Amino acid sequence: MSLRCRNVDCGCVLRQFFHYLRNMDTQQTPQERIAWLSAELNRHNHNYYVLNMPTISDRDFDMLMQELQQLEVQYPQYASPQSPTQRVGSDINHAFEQVEHIYPMLSLGNTYSIEEVAAFYERVRQGLGGASFDIVGELKFDGTSISLIYKDGHLQRAVTRGDGSMGDDVTRNVRTIRTIPLVLQGDDYPPFFEIRGEILMPWSTFEKLNEERERAEEPLFANPRNAAAGTLKLQNPSVVASRGLDAYLYYMLGDGLPSGNHYENLQKARQWGFKVSDTMQVLHSVEEIKAFIDYWDTERRNLPVATDGIVLKVASLEQQEELGYTSKSPRWAIAYKFQAEEAVTRLNSVSFQVGRTGAITPVANLTPVQLSGTVVRRASLHNEDIIRSLDLHIGDMVHVEKGGEIIPKITAVDYDSRTQGSEPVLFVTHCPECGTALVREEGEAAWFCPNVNHCPPQIKGRIEHFIARKAMNIDSLGSETVALFYERGMINNVADLYTLTVDDVAALKLQGRKWAQNIIDSIAGSRQVPYHRVLFALGIRYVGETVAKRLAAAFPSIDKLRDATIEELTTVPDIGERIARSVTEYMNDIDNLLLIERLLQYGVQMKAEESAVVAPVANVLNGASVVISGTFEHHSRDEYKALIEQYGGRNVSSVSGATQYLLAGANMGPAKLDKATRLGVKIISEADFRRMIGEISED
Ligand code: IVH
């Protein structure tokens, strides 16, 4: 069965097109169908570009788009100039200055089938009158596209794609991306040229960012593409700088380019300092193209960034010109998209989880199904709006996809196989844990349980957050013990931890004295935890690790923070209105103030130590970027990260040409080691590093 058959009357399309077929109302006239498809595509464009929260897979989106394109060709009398087929989705954000592209930023024709790739090859052959030609095979990077203008070797302007003819001027943000050169190397670049590429957030950075957002209970980014696009549109370049974006360049335009060959031009661009992927390859036949696609379909899983396909381009610029363009895309290039990994399974029930801030998260419980090598049992449903837009019923067969996402998501429902009378999934109106009526504030996607001080999972959640490694680091306590203490009535909040005695704790377990002593010792040890981590540990909404550091630097004691106004708070870098409001709300709550008072009495650090604010201990690393990999004996990874910063270095998450050192521990991945060796990165052991910072002596 071909997954690409587009004949809707043909029985072979079933599985892939369930949700597409459901919308094929046979009663619809072509005019109605065109109107329906246009509305649907506009809605999905909005979800994708504006809300950064797609509710449909790329593949299904492309299918709807192709159907509309075909209908418009068949019935041109109904094709409107406003149709979604007439524009590339716009990512314009009105907070940035809009500028016109020198050359329009076109998109590429998409295909999911090897047959269509062969047909493209044939079209090129015929278009060139049978002349011989080379194809350059490249990865299709899954980020957000950017156009960079260089004048006399200096970065002059960076603009997003926008609607293809106008985009947002994001130069200030792009200047913070370390892999984009501000000044070119060498002297053989054209005096004025444009280079285009993709801005990406590497997987490791994306995962860290989402972990941090999860802790601060901020909405997670669905995938690295949305995270990269969202970051590029931030108004504060210093936050952009801290987000670790990366960029690959893949297309040069202008007069006086060094070569008449696309591949050669990109090799030159690499010499000038651009990051050009070394995965690109010159291909001479359909067979070589197929082998290239096959290879990268699997191998892309080992890359540090997300990719969603292969781009094939005619190598000779002269031949590109000869082939020309359609109104929307070049005839000399095509994108082959990889299949998103997808499975179909049954939705058995939906659970509603209560987080430590009271946010309610709906989770789909599925009949277990294999998906990209793991068994999937649950999928995130994010919020009520997503459930509504999917029109989910219990017992539905659903499509689960694991594209760029870490948490699998439901992308479509097979409405045709729905059992009659099945129950729609309704969002709970009361807290499943304490029964309090839920509230949803304006502008928030989530429902909350407002019973902050008496809802058990919120209480336990706050204590668990407080003891976490990156917070108070009370490592001898785990969530089960916390639950036990809470259920026995021994603790009701984080301050109660400091009232526990060895006797209280030991009484819970036969021969539990040693265990109890450990717990009490590590609670006592947490009194030394620096103020900024205490601030993070308090679990104030939206105050993650980075925000806590910023707050502690600007308001070096809890009294100062308590007295800060919204206006004062928002003058701090990275602190916006939302965070400021959350901090003042927290500080205006009498229960919170009593809690802080008690923590102070128990000796918890409520002001920054002088030494914590001082600059690096010594600048021995002199700005060098260091990647940490593997496991270590003498310090934890987090301690090494802190040491790198203390000694004037920068900790970065993935190895690149700009990395100076790879701090290699035990069990590090061979891919990283390989890459570091290839790029000439200096590999240092734990002992080497400790010698560098003077922790152990030179010999
Ligand atoms: S070439 C006229 N090469 O895919 C040719 N695009 O529609 C312009 N993309 O939005 C694009 N990797 O952002 C090209 N190696 C690659 C690419 C690539 C990713 C993106 C690009 C564009 C979309 C194509």
Q: Evaluate if residue 170 carries a pLDDT over 60.
A: yes
How many other CB atoms are there within 10 angstroms of residue 264's CB atom? 15
Backbone angles phi, psi at 574, to 5 degrees: 75, -5
Q: What does the radius of gyration of the chain's CA atoms come to, in whole angstroms?
A: 28
Contact 538, 582 (CB under 8 A): no
CA 295, CA 654: separation in Å to the nearest integer?
23
Lowest mean pLDDT among 152-166, 436-450, 602-616: 602-616
107 CA: nearest ligand 1 atom: 7
433-452 confidence digits (pLDDT tens): 999 999 998 878 899 999 99
pTM, 2 dp: 0.57
Is the Cβ atom of 194 under 6 angstroms away from ligand 1?
no
CA 268, CA 295: separation in Å to the nearest integer?
26
- Return the higher-pLDDT residue of 313 and 642: 313
Average pLDDT in the 639-659 region? Answer: 82
Query: What confidence category does residue 372 fall into, taking pLDDT thresholds of 50, 70 and 90?
Result: low
CA-closest candidate to residue 387, choices 402, 376, 398: 398
Is the Cβ atom of 395 under 6 angstroms away from ligand 1?
no
CA-closest candidate to residue 528, choices 465, 646, 609, 636: 609
498-545 confidence digits (pLDDT tens): 999 999 999 998 888 999 999 999 999 999 999 999 999 999 999 998
Which residues, including other chains, have CB under 8 Å from residue 614's CB and lie 6 or more apart? none
Separation of CA 164 and ligand 1 centre (Å): 12
Per-residue confidence (pLDDT) for residue 258, from 0 to 100: 96
CA-closest candidate to residue 604, choices 533, 695, 683, 697: 533
CA 592, CA 378: separation in Å to the nearest integer?
35
29-71 confidence digits (pLDDT tens): 889 999 999 888 888 876 766 555 677 877 788 888 888 888 8
Q: Write the single-letter amino acid at 18.
A: F
Contact 179, 658 (CB under 8 A): yes
Is the Cβ atom of 107 under 6 angstroms away from ligand 1?
yes
277 CA: nearest ligand 1 atom: 15
Is the Cβ atom of 190 under 6 angstroms away from ligand 1?
no
Q: Are strands 333-337 and 110-111 parallel, antiparallel or unpaired?
A: parallel
Per-residue confidence (pLDDT) for residue 50, from 0 to 100: 53
Separation of CA 443 and ligand 1 centre (Å): 34
Is the Cβ atom of 48 under 6 angstroms away from ligand 1?
no
CA-closest candidate to residue 64, choices 78, 48, 44, 82: 44
Q: Whose CA is nearest to atom 13 of ligand 1?
A: 145
Q: Whose CA is nearest to atom 22 of ligand 1?
A: 107
308 CA: nearest ligand 1 atom: 19
Which residues, including other chains, have CB under 8 Å from residue 431's CB and lie 6 or more apart? 354, 358, 360, 437, 438, 449, 451, 455
Catalytic residues: 140
Separation of CA 307 and ligand 1 centre (Å): 11
Q: Evaluate if residue 275 carries a pLDDT over 60.
A: yes
Q: Evaluate if residue 21 carries a pLDDT over 50.
A: no
Is the Cβ atom of 251 under 6 angstroms away from ligand 1?
yes
335 CA: nearest ligand 1 atom: 24
Highest mean pLDDT among 370-384, 576-590, 667-681: 576-590
The partner residues of 98 in beta bridges, in order of sequence, read 168
Is the Cβ atom of 108 under 6 angstroms away from ligand 1?
yes
Mean pLDDT of the chain: 87
145 CA: nearest ligand 1 atom: 13
Q: Whose CA is nearest to atom 6 of ligand 1?
A: 140
Separation of CA 353 and ligand 1 centre (Å): 40
Separation of CA 107 and ligand 1 centre (Å): 7
Is the Cβ atom of 296 under 6 angstroms away from ligand 1?
no
Separation of CA 139 and ligand 1 centre (Å): 9
Separation of CA 412 and ligand 1 centre (Å): 27
Which residues, including other chains, have CB under 8 Å from residue 506's CB and lie 6 or more apart? 512, 513, 515, 516
- The pick from 106, 145, 161, 274 for probing ligand 1's pocket by mutation, whose C-beta has the most ligand atoms within 8 angstroms, reads 145
How many other CB atoms are there within 10 angstroms of residue 200's CB atom? 26
Collapse the DSSP code of 244 into the 3-class scheme (helix H, G, I; strand E, B; otherwise coil) and give the result: coil
197 CA: nearest ligand 1 atom: 13
Average pLDDT in the 358-362 region? Answer: 93
Is the Cβ atom of 118 under 6 angstroms away from ligand 1?
no
411 sits in which H/E element: strand 409-413
Average pLDDT in the 217-222 region? Answer: 75
Q: Are strands 110-111 and 154-160 parallel, antiparallel or unpaired?
A: unpaired
Per-residue confidence (pLDDT) for residue 414, from 0 to 100: 92
Query: What confidence category does residue 651 fall into, taking pLDDT thresholds of 50, 70 and 90?
Result: confident
CA 466, CA 430: separation in Å to the nearest integer?
27
413-440 confidence digits (pLDDT tens): 999 899 899 999 999 999 999 999 999 9
Q: What is the DSSP letter of 21?
A: H
Is the Cβ atom of 145 under 6 angstroms away from ligand 1?
yes
CA-closest candidate to residue 249, choices 196, 193, 199, 201: 196
- The pick from 136, 139, 140 for probing ligand 1's pocket by mutation, whose C-beta has the most ligand atoms within 8 angstroms, reads 140
Q: Whose CA is nearest to atom 16 of ligand 1?
A: 140
**Helices assigned H by DSSP within 24-86:** 30-45, 58-74
Separation of CA 137 and ligand 1 centre (Å): 12
- The pick from 165, 250, 276 for probing ligand 1's pocket by mutation, whose C-beta has the most ligand atoms within 8 angstroms, reads 250
The partner residues of 99 in beta bridges, in order of sequence, read 167
Separation of CA 9 and ligand 1 centre (Å): 33
CA 399, CA 20: separation in Å to the nearest integer?
12
The partner residues of 194 in beta bridges, in order of sequence, read 149, 253
Is the Cβ atom of 335 under 6 angstroms away from ligand 1?
yes
Tokens (6 digits) for 328: 């929307």
Sketch out the chain's domains with CATH numbers.
13-88 (1.10.287.610), 110-333 (3.30.470.30), 340-445 (2.40.50.140), 456-611 (1.10.150.20), 625-692 (3.40.50.10190)
